Amino acid sequence: MSRPTNAELTQLRVRVIALENLVIALLAEASERQVGVVRDMAAYISPKAGFTPHPLTIHAAAHMIDLVERAGHFREAAQA
């Protein structure tokens, strides 16, 4: 398997940024119940007592909460 080129990595980063912004836009218009489901999912994938925490899972859960909080800025602006 070959390593991705710099151009491919750059394209992947651009797509991730676009997807994150799309998720933020969707969360900004989401119901409180839907936002709660995202928070619940983040809690669900967080490490449980007695299990070995995986760094990627920890970062993913934190990033999910960060996306919800970033969307909160736009939710507040829309309600004002």
What is the rounded (10 degree) CA torsion for 57, 69, 38, 13? -50
Q: CA 9, 12, 14, 17 torsion: positive or negative?
A: negative
Q: Is the pTM of this model over 0.75?
A: yes
Q: For residue range 9-19, what is the model confidence (pLDDT) as tens digits? A: 999 999 999 99
What does the domain layout of the chain look like in residue ranges? 6-79
Alpha-carbon distance of 72 to 55, in angstroms, equals: 26
Taking the CA atoms of residue 71, residue 72, residue 73 and residue 78 in that order, the dihedral angle to the nearest 10 degrees is 100
DSSP 80: -
Query: What span, in angstroms and rounded, lies between the C-alpha atoms of 74 and 21?
Result: 12
Percent of the chain with pLDDT strictly greater than 70? 98
Is pLDDT above 90 for 69?
Answer: yes
